[in-house]
Homo-oligomer: A and B are copies of this chain.
Amino acid sequence: MNRPQSVERMIEIIKKLPGVGPKMAERLSYHILKMPQPEVDRLTDSIQKARQIMKYCSVCYNFSEQDPCQICSDAARERSTICVVETPQDLIAVSKVKDYQGLYFVLGGALSPLDAVGPDDIRINELIKRLKNANISEVIIATDTDSKGEMTAVYVAEIIKTLGIKVTRLGYGLPVGGDIEYADEVTISRAIAGRQEM
């Protein structure tokens, strides 16, 4: 017997989500079929609502329900330092460290020649534009410490130096080959304290 068509379709679509294999998609789908209708509604509503409410902050490109976002519109923040991260998840991780009180910029990814991700595919031009229009004294680069993140850091640093702005890179304490998003607060805190000029 084949699976009913509507189940097959649900599995096909869920399978495409990142980190979800065919077996996992099947398991999730059959679980959803057994869920009471109100729970299914809560699931799909929460997805639709988040997707529809969420926009990019036009200053830092973080996901936000308002524009500019909470951080960019916070007058108490130290406005001459920008921390550059790859993703909104990385921003959340860094923002948990209380000793950093500056602003942020989300690149939206990292350079990756093998995946055909070049400088125009992430927000390098938007970053340069922002740096030119604001009074920034230091950019802290907090991209991942894998090869893509390192490459991106070097590339971005070279450009920023031509603007006469000090560039530093989170260094101390970060495990090599790791993903910033999963680093603990103490490690990130040490990395900020031990940042090095590039």
Contact = CB atoms under 8 A, between A and B. Distances in A.
Interface of A: 1, 3-7, 9-10, 12-14, 17-20, 23-24, 26-33, 35, 37, 40-44, 46-54, 63-65, 70-71, 87-89, 91-92, 95, 182
Contact of A18 (B10, B28, B33, B87): B28
A53 B71 CA distance: 45
Nearest to A182: B23
B6 A50 contact: yes
A120 to B, nearest CB: 18
A17 B29 contact: no
A13 B19 CA distance: 18
A30 B88 contact: yes
Contact of A47 (B20, B32, B49, B95): B32
A4 B35 contact: no
Contacts of A4: 50, 53-54, 63-65
Contacts of A35: 51
Given A4-B63, A35-B51, 4 more contacts: A6-B53, A30-B87, A32-B51, A43-B47
Contacts of A14: 43, 46-47
Contacts of A41: 48
